[in-house]
Structure 1
């Protein structure tokens, strides 16, 4: 019986065997039985990189603001329901926790058994902690990120001695569009919770998350294609519609390419793009219209109409020389865009927090919401401070009666505007 089989029936005895194996390996002796290849290779990396097996090194935690920023930037936020449904309920019953880390090995989410969460606190397995393999040794977050496949780490297979009372199984989650690592999902718990089927369970849920990300990508391209089709039909010539990351939704008059390289901070206008040269760039809902610069520039300035006239439905419509598109707004986004239209010079995150919540300290929430707004308005919104771009014409449609302005809102700035006559 190998150690893995032994662990399934007698976890304490398997842990003692692995402890002796680990001691032999660290002492330079040939361990018997030999560790599993994935663990032996990881231990070799740890010895070469100088990780101390007898001291639990803990890097500084990320600030709450940075954790929130990374959560908002992480594609894994879109598949949290899949991960929770597949892992958390079972993990809680089985005295495990689910941990989700980003591609840098930083813990972003933890859920599950409250008793196990407290044990994880004692190991420094906290939100914002750095669990890269070359920082904390062989583990169920950092090691799968290195080898790019699911790994279970049991007891003394952890390189750092203080983690030997723990068992974990982690699987990498990759971007289905390009294979890029976007994070690791891990199920961890005390030694006695080890089960040989845990790794297959975690891996299957990670693959479900990847499939969901693929579906979301294709659905988003379909939405963009529906907006772009009439625009491309009117324009003629050469043009393509791409999402915010450059993935192509529609193309006309030029060879199809699945993706074009876009600069991180793209704004409307004449811009050089890799592989295409000088291009004319205009915003589309959740994407961009891109035309080679030798095509005639569409006439007409970009116009943004914020329609708050209907007490139950609020929209933003963007129109320009290439056509127009409309996006329905949530109540919170309606408030934020109304305030930016009222303050064309811009508002800082603290000012918007005071305007919406009456508390200038709630900047994390404001930044998260503005990040969502910028996904569909893109370069039409500037930041530092947040504001509409100077080149856009802004129109706000409000109800005839000031009391009808965003009637759901209790934001202090909206209450002041609602009390005014006539409304802004």
Structure 2
């Protein structure tokens, strides 16, 4: 994310205007502005956070084991240790719920963090701590820098924090965030790039281990596939292909979110049967009639961190959790049933019609997972499909990570006038 070079005095004036409902003298970074809107709408007091104590040590240990981040800790520490050990700096790793699982840094930084309750077991979500790099990056699903008065809570105005989310490359699941925090006057222009790079290296470590596991499955599945007549694919538990017979190779098969042994309908393959393999599944592809269009599509955007789409019809049933970008795309197409061109979608998502190539690439990936649901020229849901769009009760919770112009406009249009305090 780019970051505007506002000085502390300008940030303080913007913050004061935001929390008192006055006209903003200058518009801050869109991610900060959208976060402030959420805090104001929720009635958060900028002079008090909602910190309610620490998780018990046994709960912290349990979350460490289940988060999948423990194995990445050496990579994160190696990337940030030199900075975190400087005076007053602190490295923090949280899980996807914003709970601090690990922290380390200079003695001065740790002592200061203790005074603010920033300890292992504390929570840094926006609901608890207001706009901050960890909480906002977990919402935005991208690296975030929050400096001085960009923090909604005044108690953090003397700090900067830079955070980047860590995703599991196997399925896109959000694992948590890595963060570097220090005195506001010591923020460096390269800190955001550094923390972002460390998060990417951590994801790369997971990707490397995943490729090794796929290779092991490929070796184990090869003799089985050689004996099978007909069409079959061996995939790992995330759908990544380890071997095929009788079908064209594909990098990944879209499995149900919770695959089970037995009959299944997969959007790219049609009717199949799933059989367990060590570390994955054997997918046997059955002969099928000409594909029939689905009768119902439900796009559920009511949840804060997962956006499932389900397809039901004569051809079968299927559900899948969308990535943030694909959730944005399907939202726009659900609103515009008449369809959108690539240039129009680029304006909807990026505010720039020239980014049509990026949109086409995303839709190409999305259509591979949603065969029979999406059409093109223009891009749209098929005319035969009944599309149901489920929105959250609070308009500000509509894809809160998104700064896409179409999503921001949809939030503002549905927000009652009484809650439109930041202008």
Q: What is the CA distance between 1:92 and its match in structure 2?
A: 1.0
Q: Specify the SS of the correspondent of 1:152.
A: strand
Pairs within 5 Å for 1:4-23? 5=5, 14=8, 16-23=9-16
Structure 2 CA distance, aligned partners of 1:81 and 1:110? Answer: 13
Q: Specify the SS of the correspondent of 1:46.
A: helix
TM-score by length of 1: 0.58
Structure 1 CA distance, aligned partners of 2:127 and 2:86? Answer: 32
Q: Specify the SS of the correspondent of 1:56.
A: coil
Q: What is the CA distance between 1:120 and its match in structure 2?
A: 1.7
Q: What is the CA distance between 1:251 and its match in structure 2?
A: 2.2
Match of 2:162 among 162, 169, 181: 169
> Does the 8 Å CA contact 1:51/1:135 hold for their aligned counterparts?
no
Structure 1 CA distance, aligned partners of 2:79 and 2:181? Answer: 15
Q: What is the CA distance between 1:51 and its match in structure 2?
A: 1.7
- Which sits farther off after the overlay, 170-179 or 256-265? 256-265
Structure 1 CA distance, aligned partners of 2:257 and 2:15? Answer: 48
Q: What is the CA distance between 1:225 and its match in structure 2?
A: 0.8
Asked if residue 202 in structure 1 is aligned to residue 195 in structure 2, the reply is: yes
Q: What is the CA distance between 1:109 and its match in structure 2?
A: 2.1
Please name the residue that 1:139 is paired with: 132
Structure 2: where are the runs of 5+ without partners?
288-423
Pairs within 5 Å for 1:337-348? none
Which structure's relative contact order is higher, taking Cα pairs within 8 Å and 6+ residues apart? 2
RMSD between superposed Cα atoms in Å: 3.0
1:126-164 Cα offsets, whole Å, 9 max, x none, are 223222223321101011222232221112211011122
Structure 1 CA distance, aligned partners of 2:156 and 2:183? Answer: 10
Please name the residue that 1:127 is paired with: 120
Measured at CA, do residues 42 and 283 of structure 1 come closer, stay the same or move farther in structure 2, by a change above 3 Å? same
Q: Specify the SS of the correspondent of 1:176.
A: coil
1:355-414 Cα offsets, whole Å, 9 max, x none, are xxxxxxxxxxxxxxxxxxxxxxxxxxxxxxxxxxxxxxxxxxxxxxxxxxxxxxxxxxxx
Please name the residue that 2:105 is paired with: 112
Q: Specify the SS of the correspondent of 2:117.
A: coil
> Does the 8 Å CA contact 1:150/1:172 hold for their aligned counterparts?
yes
Structure 2 CA distance, aligned partners of 1:263 and 1:219? Answer: 23
Structure 1 CA distance, aligned partners of 2:241 and 2:36? Answer: 43
Please name the residue that 2:273 is paired with: 279
Q: Specify the SS of the correspondent of 1:104.
A: coil
TM-score by length of 2: 0.58
Please name the residue that 1:366 is paired with: none
Q: What is the CA distance between 1:34 and its match in structure 2?
A: 4.5
Match of 1:90 among 80, 83, 93: 83
Q: Specify the SS of the correspondent of 2:121.
A: coil
> Does the 8 Å CA contact 1:261/1:274 hold for their aligned counterparts?
no
1:76-103 Cα offsets, whole Å, 9 max, x none, are 3343222111112321125322112222
1:312-363 Cα offsets, whole Å, 9 max, x none, are xxxxxxxxxxxxxxxxxxxxxxxxxxxxxxxxxxxxxxxxxxxxxxxxxxxx
1:272-322 Cα offsets, whole Å, 9 max, x none, are 4453767362442x334444699xxxxxxxxxxxxxxxxxxxxxxxxxxxx
Pairs within 5 Å for 1:285-300? 286-291=279-284
Please name the residue that 1:186 is paired with: 179
Structure 1 CA distance, aligned partners of 2:258 and 2:208? Answer: 24
Asked if residue 226 in structure 1 is aligned to residue 216 in structure 2, the reply is: no
Measured at CA, do residues 292 and 63 of structure 1 come closer, stay the same or move farther in structure 2, by a change above 3 Å? farther
Give the total of aligned pairs: 281
Q: What is the CA distance between 1:241 and its match in structure 2?
A: 2.4
Pairs within 5 Å for 1:18-417? 18-254=11-247, 256=249, 258-261=252-255, 264=258, 271-275=262-266, 279=273, 281-284=275-278, 286-291=279-284
Structure 1: where are the runs of 5+ without partners?
8-13, 295-424
Structure 2 CA distance, aligned partners of 1:73 and 1:265? Answer: 21
> Does the 8 Å CA contact 2:171/2:238 hold for their aligned counterparts?
no
Q: Specify the SS of the correspondent of 2:69.
A: helix
1:26-74 Cα offsets, whole Å, 9 max, x none, are 2233344554443233212210122221112114533434333333333
> Does the 8 Å CA contact 1:245/1:262 hold for their aligned counterparts?
no
> Does the 8 Å CA contact 1:165/1:191 hold for their aligned counterparts?
yes
1:207-227 Cα offsets, whole Å, 9 max, x none, are 222233322222221121122
Structure 1 CA distance, aligned partners of 2:56 and 2:240? Answer: 33
Q: Which has the larger radius of gyration?
A: 1
Q: Specify the SS of the correspondent of 1:209.
A: helix
Measured at CA, do residues 264 and 127 of structure 1 come closer, stay the same or move farther in structure 2, by a change above 3 Å? farther
> Does the 8 Å CA contact 2:76/2:199 hold for their aligned counterparts?
yes
Measured at CA, do residues 41 and 282 of structure 1 come closer, stay the same or move farther in structure 2, by a change above 3 Å? closer
> Does the 8 Å CA contact 2:274/2:281 hold for their aligned counterparts?
no
